[in-house]
Amino acid sequence: MTARMVADETAGDLRTALRAGYACTVAWAELLDRINVFPVADGDTGRNMVVSLAPLRDRVANDATVAERLLLSARGNSGNIACAFVRALLDDRRSLAERCVRGDALARQAVAVPQPGTMLTVLDALADEAKTGLAGHQVDRLLARLAQIVSETTSAQESLRQANVVDSGALAMLVFLDGMLRVYFGLSQAQDALAGRFRSLVLFERCAATVKADVGFCVDAVVRGQRPSDAALSCIGSEVVVLDNGDLWKIHLHASDVAVARAALGKLGEIVRWSWDDLYEQMSIRPARASSDDVHIMTDGAASLSRREAEALGITLLDSHINLGDVSLPETRLAPEDLYRAMRRGVRVSTSQASTYERHKHYERVVSQWQSALYLCVGSVYTGNHAVALDWRSSHPAGARMTLLDSGAASGRLAVVVRATALAARGGKPVGALADFARAALAHAEEYIFLERLEYLARGGRMSKTGAFFGDALHLAPVVSPMPDGARRMALLRKQEDRIVFACDCAARALGAAGRKGYLLAEYTDNRAWLVEQVLPRLRAAAPGAEIAVGALSLTTGAHTGPGTWAIAMLPEQASQGA
């Protein structure tokens, strides 16, 4: 064993370092989605990396359990390749340098047709360096070399050359390694180095020229049985990636027909887990046009805004986490139907804050890529995000670029204000004027949340089980509104019809005056169809001049209020005029 490998053996805790790498990946995920044009412009590299590597957040499970969960959670090309590499890092029989070499080999082996200028190119360079050992004094030079390799991926594929962007998977692996290696070797974070180097990517706008027309479905399946041959899988689809764990095989591929692909994979063994995404739908997302002169808007995932809506508005979402049994995911990366289906089955659900380190990484990336940012924090009565951001702002050299506003709001009330502020920011308003605009909007924004049952509040410890039992037995449920001093009870209603009447009365009062315009967001949990069919027509009649949209209730709210909950949030158009 070389002296360098001895230094590697005595470095820090690897699981802590892996969590840091994951936190950095989460902070860059929106940008990774934006620049994802190879092998198809499906805009999901960041999402797939976040979902795939989520098991790394677990501080309790042993390495073998985490490795198995990585196999099951892996999504997409980037996520499956990354999981192949990271699973090798969890083999404690070897030094970190040896694990990196083996991880590179397993990642390349997992890909049926490896391509140049991808995540594999970055891992090859890491392995080449690691063959002579890894030590702290090498890390800055190594990361600089990897960053140069990522920069050069722009010329590796035609779609990357046309879009003039680097490969999103390659950048994702660089971001992960930057956090992991610096924390493992106890080094400083080299603030803003990566974000500064890749600053121009924030202005990239995906266009039709970068999109392939021959798309279908992105399939991820776990199959039990003998390892399928590459030839058999290539007959089913393209972009094949295969990971193994005993008799379980994780298979990723792109297929033109999802039903045909499932039938074909079923002939190869027992399908244990199955998921797919419609590539055409993902490719239809168009990021908002960005300008370096605009103020960038940030908010928390506790707002009732989806990732798709956030990208359309050009804003950054900072997630808390939903803990669903053994799974922990950023709130806007979890499908609402999965959450509420689990809650109805009685699965243990809780929420937790992102680590301070992860939040700091978000702030650093944003202020490094934008001249000015306005962060509309979820109300400080609900989380500590405002205090964490305030501490970071006072100590970071570029902290003055970020203006903070404690919104005192959450869920839909925060969403309608953030939406209005993001639209106003496109006009080139200075950050002070936008902050005034947001304060004026917050003074007039309203939200009313209608709970179906109280048992979920009791499960989360937000009311007594006895009170929930009698409330549900009497069919009584509160109407609550998130305010700066906490959630206020606005009414106590027995029947669903009473709740609909209450909602329509509120809409008519706020938005229903003759000629009065505004924005109303109708929010659902697992009851979208009912909301659209039964409630939406009556809301339109109550506020005929308002723009009305339908969206999912914030999952941090839904995790406490439970399935069956619905809500309305409103902002009169004239509420912020003159700001």
Is residue 242 one of the residues assigned to a domain? Answer: yes
Is residue 138 one of the residues assigned to a domain? Answer: yes
Do 138 and 155 belong together in one domain? yes
Beta bridge partners of 318: 300
Do 325 and 396 belong together in one domain? yes
What's the burial of 474, exposed, middle or buried (CB within 10 Å: 0-12/13-18/19+)? exposed
Reading the block at residue 529, the tokens are 């169809």
Handedness of CA 111, 112, 114, 118 (dihedral sign): negative
User: Which domain, by its residues, includes 240?
Assistant: 217-281
Do 48 and 186 belong together in one domain? yes
Helix or strand run (H / E) with residue 351: strand 349-352
In the listed set 441, 467, 501, which residue is the last one of a domain according to the structure?
441
Distance CA 457, CA 560 (A): 6
- pLDDT attached to residue 470: 33
Is residue 288 one of the residues assigned to a domain? Answer: no
Do 199 and 259 belong together in one domain? no
- pLDDT attached to residue 209: 42
- The alpha carbons of the chain give a radius of gyration, in whole angstroms, of 24
| Cis before 287? omega within 30 | no
Reading the block at residue 168, the tokens are 């999103």
In the listed set 281, 304, 325, which residue is the last one of a domain according to the structure?
281
Indicate the number of domains in the chain: 4
Is residue 13 one of the residues assigned to a domain? Answer: yes
Do 468 and 431 belong together in one domain? no
Do 34 and 144 belong together in one domain? yes
Q: In terms of Cα–Cα distance, which of 559, 492, 128, 74 is closest to 352? A: 559
Distance CA 435, CA 405 (A): 7
Give me the residue label for tokens 């080999």: 105
Beta bridge partners of 351: 322
- pLDDT attached to residue 168: 92
Mean pLDDT split into 10-residue runs, the chain, 579 residues: 41 88 94 81 83 93 93 88 94 89 93 86 95 90 94 85 87 95 86 74 56 66 82 84 79 85 86 76 59 85 92 91 89 91 90 93 90 95 94 92 95 96 88 95 96 64 37 61 87 91 95 81 96 96 94 94 95 64
CATH number at residue 553: 3.30.1180.10
Is residue 184 one of the residues assigned to a domain? Answer: yes
Give me the residue label for tokens 């399946």: 221
Do 97 and 201 belong together in one domain? yes
Residue 559, CA distances (Å) to 62, 102, 456, 493 in order: 27, 40, 8, 21
Do 425 and 343 belong together in one domain? yes
Is residue 176 one of the residues assigned to a domain? Answer: yes
Is residue 459 one of the residues assigned to a domain? Answer: yes
CATH number at residue 182: 1.25.40.340
CATH number at residue 311: 3.40.50.10170
Do 396 and 472 belong together in one domain? no
Contacts of 512 (CB under 8 A, 6+ apart): 542, 543, 544, 545, 546
In the listed set 441, 469, 492, which residue is the last one of a domain according to the structure?
441
Phi first, then psi, for residue 245 (nearest 5°) are: -155, 85
Helix or strand run (H / E) with residue 272: strand 270-278
Helix or strand run (H / E) with residue 508: helix 496-511
Residue 329, CA distances (Å) to 355, 445, 532 in order: 13, 29, 28
Q: β-strand 238-245 against 248-255: which pairing, if any?
A: antiparallel
Do 42 and 183 belong together in one domain? yes
CATH number at residue 251: 3.30.70
Do 326 and 254 belong together in one domain? no
Handedness of CA 453, 458, 461, 463 (dihedral sign): positive
Do 373 and 468 belong together in one domain? no
Is residue 54 one of the residues assigned to a domain? Answer: yes
